Amino acid sequence: MTKDSAKSANTMWGGRFAMAPDAIMEEINASIGFDQRLAAQDIRGSRAHAAMLGAVGILTQDDVAAISQGLDEIETEIAEGNFPFSRALEDIHMNIEARLRDKIGDAAGRLHTARSRNDQVATDFKLWVRDRLDDVDAALAGLIAGFLDQAEQGADLVMPGFTHLQTAQPVTWGHHMMAYVEMFARDRSRFADARARMNESPLGAAALAGTGFPIDRERTAAALGFDRPAANSLDAVSDRDFALEFLSAASICATHISRLSEELVIWSSAQFNFVRLSDRFSTGSSIMPQKRNPDAAELCRAKVGRIMGAMVGLMTVMKGLPLAYSKDMQEDKEPVFDAADSLGLALSALTGMVQDMQPNADALRVAAGHGYSTATDLADWLVRELNMPFRDAHHVTGTLVKMAEDRAAPLDALSLADMQGVEPRITAAIMDVLSVESSTRSRTSYGGTAPDNVRAQVARWRERLAG
C-alpha cells in the first residue's frame, strides 16, 4: 500500500487508527472487486439521502446541488468505464464518497450526515435484489408465454404421460406444456411475494440505533420506491432475509428449470426422439460428426447446484450472527450476485429452447400407445358401462393386459371374443375407448388433459399475463 492510499484509508475510517492496515487485512477486507455492482444503487440512495437532508434543513441547497452534480459525473464515469476504483478504499460506498470529495470538496463529507455504511449497504443491496426480482419476473413472463405458444399449437398432439419414467396414460403435448406454466407461475408469485415483503427502506437506521438528526425516513423511502421505512433500526441494518428469500425462491425456480432441462435432454435423445432442439441451443462433438448435444439444457440443469449452494452458503453465514451488523455480512453479496446471474442466464436459455423446440408428432403418438397406456380407460369403461366395482374392473383389465403382453400385441389388437372370454358382458363399444386420442379426449375433468381443457387454460393464462 502506498503512503497516499494508507492516508486515504485512515481518512475514511476517522482518526482512531494510527497505522495503515496490513496487506493481508486489506486483502480480506476489501470488497470493491465485487460490490462495485452496487454502484447504481449506491448513487440512487445517496441522491435520495442528500435531497432529504436538504429538505429538512440539515444541508444547504448549495451542498445538495453540488452533491447531485458530483454524483451525476461519477455515474457517467462508471458507465463509461473511467472511474478510478481503489482497493485501498475497501468498497463501492467509500470509493464513491472519496471520488465525490475529489470533485466537490467538503460538501461530500456532509453527505454522510445521519447515515452509516451499515444502513447504506443494506439499502443498496435491497435495491439491487429488488431490481433483480423485477428482471426475473419479466423473464418468467417470457418463458410462460413460450409454453403457452407450445401448448396452443400442440393441444391435440398426443404423447405418453409418465410415472416412474414408465408409460402411464396418454396425455397431450399441450397439457404437458401447461404443467410447466403452472410451475413457473408459482415461481413468479413467490418472487412477487418476496418483493412485497422486502420493500422496506433501511436508510436512516444509521449504524444500528437510529440518529438524533431530524431526518425524514418516509421521504427517502418514497424516493427510492420503498413502501415504508423499516420499523426497527437494529433489524434494518442486520436483516438479510430479503437475500435469503430471493435465493430460496431462486432455488425452487432453478429446480423447475432443472426438471424441464432433464426432460429436454431425454426427449432429444435418439432413443426417445420426442423433440428436436434448434441449432441455436445445441452443440456438436469434436470427434463424432453426427452428434447433436443438448448442452444448453444440460448447463441449465446444472445451475440449480450453484443457486442452491448460494442459499445454503448465505444461511450458514447468517445463522450465528448476533445483532446488529457484523463484517461476516460482507460475504452476503457474491453468492447472491452469482445466483442471480445463473438464474437469469438459465431462464434466457430455457426460453429460447422452449420457443424453438419442435415436437416429433409421429414419435410422440407411437410412444403414447406403448406400455398399454389405455388400460385405465378400459377399466373405467367397465365401471361406467357395466357398473363393475373398480377393484374388479382393475383385475379384469390386468388379465387382458397380461393376455396382450403374452401375444406381444397392443390392447386394441385383442378381439372382442378374447375380451368376452375374460368378461362376457364386454361389448364392441369397448373398442371406442382404447385409442390414445379417445383417451385424451375423455379426460375432461377440470385440470385434465383433454384438448378443449388445454385450450381453455391457454386462454385463461394469456389473459392473466396480459393483465
Q: Is 238 a catalytic residue?
A: no
Is residue 155 within 8 A of residue 454, CB to CB? The reply is yes
Catalytic residue among 164, 286, 415, 445: 164
Alpha-carbon gap, residue 139 to 420, rounded angstroms:
56
DSSP string, 98-113: HHHHHHHTTHHHHTTT
Alpha-carbon gap, residue 454 to 175, rounded angstroms:
6
Q: How many of the other CB atoms lie within 10 Å of CB of 89?
A: 22
Residue with cell 379417445: 438
Alpha-carbon gap, residue 378 to 204, rounded angstroms:
69
3-class state of residue 284 by DSSP: coil
Q: Single out the residue of 62, 54, 128 nearest to residue 92, CA to CA.
A: 128
Per-state percent for the chain, helix, strand, coil, to nearest 5 = 70, 5, 25
3-class state of residue 14 by DSSP: coil
Burial class (CB in 10 A: 0-12, 13-18, 19+), 327: exposed
- β pairing state of 200-201 and 228-229: parallel
Catalytic residue among 189, 269, 278, 285: 285
Type of residue found at 441: R
Q: Single out the residue of 9, 316, 354 nearest to residue 151, CA to CA.
A: 354
Alpha-carbon gap, residue 9 to 98, rounded angstroms:
10
Q: How far is CA 241 from CA 194, 198, 244, 246, in A?
A: 9, 8, 5, 8
Q: Is 286 a catalytic residue?
A: no
Grid coordinates belonging to 289? 460428426
Q: Catalytic residue positions?
A: 164, 285
